[in-house]
Structure 1
């Protein structure tokens, strides 16, 4: 278990769910004192892995403490509904609802709206890229950006380091 160098406030909350569904549980990680250092925190909506059938915020708690502590970001971890009890697209709809809530409450949470991110945890087939375009075809929220640093992929542009290098006539 990661022990942060500075205090991180961790609190459970619920946010409005998709139309006709229950509220969505989230866990909010706030680095104590970070908001005093600047004009707003970076914000991260974190969607755990598990292919919509496994996982929970508990699974990545230590990693999220580390992100809040070392990056100084406010992290909203979404406890979306899992299949088979809640068939697809329930988890996707919950993820999108949490993303919309976080964006709408950025100022209240202390997030700089220009610094919101939604990273896919391990692969691009997970919930994060899909949450950008929900099952009803609603577009991404302005200012939201999916980042996948492990894969070297900018999901917003659909280009990897390898494809950019190839386009420029270089090998990666």
Structure 2
């Protein structure tokens, strides 16, 4: 009986140590160690809410540190027009339901936005902290959305901190000129 109590004590202690130590490199683990900074978006162009943006404008994103470019490209979405508005309406419903429900789960939302993504090309600066996205096509007098999902990370593997957002992403909107 004494061996079982000692064994259980060791197991509980080990589990507690792993829990407290955390497993992530995002600098925001349970210990509160913020010595490893999470990357942040410094600037996006066109700015959120911009109007009369010329057709063919490149999208620029500036981060505060070098990024894992593949993670950014895999979690960047650009969409516009009616399809984008339908997606936004559904996202709002998803958030109002507290993320509950079989029809409106976030996997479904991400598959949907992937299907309406406007393809284009990325061009990165040498340091990897800024990129241009050159969209394939844009239409006049159209609302567009830039959506950056929360699964992006820095070149060093630190995850972007977006836990304050329900949908774990950043969204920017602009409208093209007529």
TM-score by length of 2: 0.23
Rg larger in structure: 2
TM-score by length of 1: 0.24
Higher relative contact order (CA 8 A, sep 6+): 2
